[in-house]
Amino acid sequence: MIFSDKNGRAAERSRRFAKQVALWSLLVLLLVSMLSAVRPDAGVAPIVLKYESLPFSAKEFYVAGVVDARADKKAVAHIIPAPAPGKALVTTTVPTDLQGGGLQAVQQYISKGIPANKKLRPIIITLREFEVKEKPGENGRVQGQAVTAMKFELQGDGEIIPLTEYKGGIRYNRPASQVEAVEPALRQSLTGALAYFNKWMEENANTNPRLAKSIKVIFTDYSVPAAADTVFYSPKRPLNWNDFTGGPSKPSKFAAAVFPGFAYEGRSEVVNGELHLYLDMKVYVLQSSSWVKPDSRNDYSLNHEQKHFDLVKLVAERFKKKITPEILSVEDYNSIIQYHYIESFREMNQLQDQYDTETQHGLNKVVQEQWNRKIAEELGRL
């Protein structure tokens, strides 16, 4: 049959179109094949983390937040899929995640098991690991290991206080066809971490300083009747010239010298969830560092040296006024106390210099009397 040119061109266009359709179909098949090779998780259903009642009731804490610090936030499991009927066990693992995402699933699981009772201590959980890894086992079975690692911290007043850490998990051996065994392993591993922390809290709630709900500061004044080379401050026991047993290290124009100081010794304990800080104050004079010239042993000179001792007692009392529960932190109370001690020690040195400068080391009797009254009045108030 002979066709016209018009019909021939139409047939040619039809043939070219058919070739293009075939080519596009081939490209689509090739692309699907490539995607299957690149995405081994194609067609793998997310794991549904089931809720179960926790084996404890949290009485010391609630979970205020969960932070996701996992290296891989896109998959909680690398599992060996069940082989097709009549096929051999696949040896490569397939990544899959929890339904809704790993962090969200863990948060929901915790919120159901640990009610947010905000009368209790708020805890921040940092999720460092939460995963299952599998590998081929013997006789066509699959070996798996679920691991959970967490860091637990107390959410304090403007601070985060580290408490404890946990890492643990379980191992399992399953038939190749029973992929559903992965979810119970994850769940049990997660439950184990939470149960560990609950036990830790119950054991530490009333004894661990970091868990103290409040702070109480208890000051005492160290005083002993006698101590080698040391006189501890006591209103009932003022200085006397027998306390000046040393001598000047070099010739001095002054009649006498005394070198008082102050320090503290501390200890702590937790009583019914309250942190008790015991600070024993020591205001002292070292006898071997104090001296007097033989012709200067009179009451007026002794009074001047006693007032040096009294000034240190004043500074120590001011230091005690600074150390209140409001400025202290359960996490770092020691460094706060140390800072104020150093500041008070600096104040002591400045005050001693001012006293000697204004009284001209006791030579100005009018100013000396003014300092006598000033020191007596403040000591009386304190």
CATH number at residue 164: 3.40.50
Domain boundary among 155, 171, 205: 205
Same-domain check for residues 283 and 341? yes
183 plus 221 within the same structural domain: no
pLDDT of residue 331: 83
Read off φ and ψ for residue 113, nearest 5 degrees: -85, -25
254, exposed or middle or buried, with CB in 10 Å at 0-12, 13-18, 19+?
middle
138 pLDDT more than 70: yes
Contact 130, 106 (CB under 8 A): yes
Residue 172's DSSP bridge partners are 144
What is the total count of domains within the chain?
Answer: 2
pLDDT in tens, 178-187: 999 999 999 9
Same domain? 180 vs 216: no
Judgement on whether residues 196 and 243 belong to the same structural domain of the protein: no
Q: Express each pLDDT in 351-375 by its tens digit.
A: 999 999 999 999 999 999 999 999 9
Residue 143: what pLDDT? 96
Domain end, chosen from 165, 186, 205, is at 205
Instruction: For residue range 89-116, list pLDDT tens digits in order.
Output: 778 899 999 999 999 999 999 999 999 9
- Calpha distance 145→189 (Å, rounded): 10
Looking at the domain assignment, is residue 38 inside a domain? Answer: no
The domain in which residue 73 lies consists of 61-205
Considering the domain architecture, whether residues 130 and 236 belong to the same structural domain is answered as no
Strand partners, 141: 175
Same domain, 170 and 308: no
Same domain, 225 and 367: yes
Looking at 42-56, 243-257, 298-312, which range is the least confident one? 42-56
Supply the pLDDT for residue 41. Answer: 38
Can you give the pLDDT at residue 140?
87
Domain closes at, from 148, 174, 205: 205
| Average pLDDT, integer, range 265-293 | 94
Residue 202, CA atoms < 13 Å, CB-side half-sphere: 10
CA-to-CA dists, residue 158 to 70, 119, 209, 307, 317, angstroms: 25, 17, 17, 43, 29
User: Is residue 346 one of the residues assigned to a domain?
Assistant: yes
% residues pLDDT > 70 (the chain): 88
Give the up-direction half-sphere exposure of residue 20: CA atoms within 13 A in the CB hemisphere: 6
Q: Is residue 311 in a domain?
A: yes
DSSP 73: S
* 2 domain-assigned: no
Helix (H) or strand (E) holding 77: strand 77-79
pLDDT tops 50 at residue 1:
no
Question: In 3D, which of 209, 203, 271 has the Cα closest to residue 59?
Answer: 203
DSSP state of 45: P
Residue 150: φ, ψ to 5°: -135, 150
CB contact set of 73 (below 8 Å; sequence gap of 6+): 102, 103
12 located within any domain: no
For the entire predicted model, the pTM comes to 0.71
- Cβ neighbours of residue 58 under 8 Å, at least 6 residues apart? 114, 115, 117, 120, 198, 201
The answer to the question of residue 269 being in a domain is yes
* Residue 223 CA: distances (Å) to CA of 229, 232, 245, 277: 14, 6, 20, 19
User: Quick one: pLDDT at residue 9?
Assistant: 54
Which DSSP state fits 164? Answer: E
Alpha-carbon dihedral angle through residues 50, 54, 55, 59, given to the nearest 10 degrees = 180
pLDDT value of position 227 = 74
Q: Are residues 259 and 146 in the same domain?
A: no
Q: What is the pLDDT of residues 216-248, one digit of tens each?
A: 999 999 877 667 899 999 999 999 999 999 988
Same domain, 258 and 373: yes
- Is 236 part of any domain? yes
pLDDT over threshold 90, residue 262: yes
- Predicted confidence at residue 243, as pLDDT, reads 95
CA-closest candidate to residue 311, choices 289, 285, 337: 285
Together in a domain, 330 and 216:
yes
Confidence of residue 6 (pLDDT cuts 50, 70, 90): very low
> Strands 230-232 and 256-257, how do they pair?
unpaired
Residues 92 and 198 in one domain: yes
Name, in order, each residue with C-beta under 8 angstroms of 116's C-beta and a sequence gap of 6 or more. 62, 63, 64
The answer on 294 and 187 residing in a single domain is no
